[in-house]
Amino acid sequence: MKNLQKTYEVTQKVERLFEVTVTQTDFWEAVLYISTQTEFNTLSQIACADWIEEEHFLLTYILTTDARDKNLMLKLTLGREYESMPSVMTLFPQAEVMERDLHEMYGIGFEGNETLYDFVLEQWHDLPPLRREFDTLAFVHEHFAFKGGREDNKDVKVEQKRRREEAKKQKALEAAKQEAKKQETEKQETEKPKEPNTHATDAEETQDKKPDTKEAEDGQ
């Protein structure tokens, strides 16, 4: 850990998770250094996220210690246009399948990995399916037909949005109601001490108001 902090800028994400960001050119040097000179000597996962708006992939190599008590995320960005990375297979043999998977799902090349042929998808000729420009629904409708009975199904996302908004509105309404009640009760409470209980009529009035305030309190 000390070694690592000397050479790289390490940010601590949570208690046992650390993060180092490198550039694509520095990557090989960094991974070589970390795996040999620090305690993070095992690769447990390679994750990839497709940031299509910013036109890059975010690759995260998750390295872990022998004792499996700390994790390090080694992050780098990679261009989306079928660029390639150096393979880390020589350091971690288990990277083979992870790289193969990334190659198949995102079209990322890995120099030095010779197994980048069909993996989970067999004879796939379309775009790599996890790239975000791959239109899943269009693909489904092009290749499959459905039986009747699905006409009345709703778009899940639209329906979710609608329900969420409805719930929000309901909440806002209730909050407004409670606000109004609160204000009423506050008014009553502030009015009370102003009027001294000298007259019998006043006492009656306050008695009338009491149940209202109780209800408001219950509602809260």
Binding footprint of other proteins on the chain (CB under 8 A): 96, 114-115, 117-118, 120-123, 129, 134, 136-137, 139-140, 143-147, 149-150
Element (H, E) at 42: strand 40-51
CB of 25 to other proteins, least distance (A): 28
Q: Are the C-beta atoms of 183 and 213 separated by less than 8 Å?
A: no
CB of 114 to other proteins, least distance (A): 6
Which one, 1 or 121, has the nearer CB to other proteins? 121
Please tell me the distance from the alpha carbon of residue 75 to that of residue 20, in angstroms, as a whole number: 6
Which one, 2 or 125, has the nearer CB to other proteins? 125
CB of 124 to other proteins, least distance (A): 8
DSSP string, 73-119: EEEEEEETTT-EEE--TTT-TTHHHHHHHHHHHH--EEET----S-S
Please tell me the distance from the alpha carbon of residue 88 to that of residue 73, in angstroms, as a whole number: 15
CB of 148 to other proteins, least distance (A): 9
Which one, 14 or 145, has the nearer CB to other proteins? 145
Which one, 2 or 154, has the nearer CB to other proteins? 154
